[in-house]
Every structure is written in C-alpha cells, then in structure tokens.
Structure 1
Amino acid sequence: MKEVGGKTAVNYNNGKVHLRLAAGQSVIFVASDAYYPVKADYETTNKIKLNLKNIKLSVANAESYPKFESKQILNKLINVNSVKNFRQFSGNIKYSMQFDLDQVQEGMILDLGKVNEVATVELNGHKLGTKIAYPYEFKDISSYLVAGTNNLEVVVVNNLGINQQDFLSQYMLIKPAGLLGPISLKY
C-alpha cells in the first residue's frame, strides 16, 4: 500500500489494483512493461503556509459581471455564505490579497487549499490559469514570484444552486462557498 499525501492509497495484489482516492481526486494508470519515470506532486518536501494580508473581497453576479462590487476587507479566508449580505450569493467572488516571500525557490507550486467551486488565478499580473476541481494547484510559478511582497488575485465562481433552489434542492445542505484555503507554496 502506498500513501500519497495521506489521501491516496494504492494496493497491488494478485494482479488487481485497489485504489482509495480523496473526493475529486483522479489517477492515471499506464498498463505496460515499459518504465515511465514520473515526478509526482507529492515529492515536494517543503511547504510554506502563506500569511495573507490586505484581503479584499468583492463580488459580481450574472447581471453585474465583469464589474465587481461590495468590497469588504477580511482578516482571513472564510466561507462567503457566512458573511452578512452574502448568505445566498451565487456568482463570481474575487479575492485580492498580498503575501510576503523571503526567497523564491525553483519549481514552486501554489496550492489554494479548499475552493468551492471554480478558481481562476493571477499572480503579480500573470494569469496562472483556471482549475475546476481538486487539487487547486498551479505548478512552476517561480518565475512569477518575487522576493518581497506578491499580489495574488483569485476569482472563484460558485454555482446557482445556492441562490436558485427548486423543490428538491431547497432541502440540500449548502456547502461553504469561495476560497477557504489555507493557501500555501510547495517546493
């Protein structure tokens, strides 16, 4: 059995492969006698939890997008549905924040932690891309980082199920919305 980040377990026994994956996680298996050297994500040995500062929260629903409104200052990442006036918000949630970094290492990975649902990321003015499922990681970002203060912008889009509930979905538990973190750098 092999543990990967405490989330994946692989057991190969008598020609059968048994997997245990985290929610939203996937694995690719190649059935071959050939050797394929692959550097797995879990081989990173260092992790820096980012101390976020100046977290600005703004939102845009379908009618107002791309204009973001209702700016609020947060002292930490929280469930947006727990913020007054956003309890049933559906749409785009923008987080603009900063973090300080002493030294840039080669091969750094930005890990957003927990996100509900889709995340688009910009780091120091460079678009890193969009992730729609776990893991919310952006690889090889070292060339976009600076020693000192870095600017990070994350736009999270949640689903309409929070705001527009039908007969059945009105009884569903509403999962936390937005960027929940913790945000870290791995290398």
Structure 2
Amino acid sequence: MALQINSKYPHFSPIIKLKELQDISKIDEYAAFSGTIRYEVTFDMKDIPDNAVLNLGNVYEVAEVWSNDSHLGAKISPQ
C-alpha cells in the first residue's frame, strides 16, 4: 500500500507492507487519511481463464485495475 495526498499526486509515499488487504480507516495512524491509496499485489496464474471476475469488495470513490502494465478498467463507486 502507498499513500499520497492530492497536492503530491502522482508521487506516492514509500510502500507500506500489509499482510492482507484491509480498511485503513481501522488503522489508528491512518484513520483520518484523505487522499489516494494505491494497493498492489503480485501473483502467478498457471491457468488463464477466458473470463474472470475480480471482486474488489467495497470501493469508495474510484478503483482502477492494471495487469502487466495494461489498464483493464476503472469504476466510479456509486457510494
């Protein structure tokens, strides 16, 4: 995870390693954070399906998905 306040975009803070994806508002030191959060994950897929679904759970504002330097899409949250 990397954080960035709007005036510094697109330059992010150094990466903060998390053991699992989580709501940072539940972490005391980030509870009042307002800005952009970048989550990254690396994984290997042996079998590539013709169709796949990526469930991002609850996203507030905007989510963008990239894979192998290809932009796969963006979604603006209705919340």
> Structure 2 length normalisation: TM-score?
0.83
Q: Relative to 1, partners in 2 of residues 1:117 and 1:95: Cα closer, same or farther, differing over 3 Å?
A: same
Q: Give the letter aligned to residue 21 of structure 2.
A: L
In 2, the alpha carbon distance for the partners of 1:87 and 1:108 equals 33
Name whichever structure is richer in strand by fraction: 1
Equivalence for 1:100: 44
Equivalence for 1:132: 76
Q: Does 1:77 align with 2:21?
A: yes
Q: Which has the larger radius of gyration?
A: 1
Q: Give the letter aligned to residue 86 of structure 1.
A: Y
* Structure 1: runs of 5+ lacking an equivalent: 1-56, 135-187
1:3-82, aligned counterparts within 5 Å?
A: 57-82=1-26
> Structure 1 length normalisation: TM-score?
0.38
SS of corresponding position for 1:81:
helix
Equivalence for 1:89: 33
Q: Does 1:119 align with 2:63?
A: yes
Equivalence for 1:53: none
How many residues were matched structurally? 78
Give the drift of 1:84: 3.8
Higher relative contact order (CA 8 A, sep 6+): 1
Identical amino acids, percent of aligned pairs: 32
In 2, the alpha carbon distance for the partners of 1:63 and 1:93 equals 14
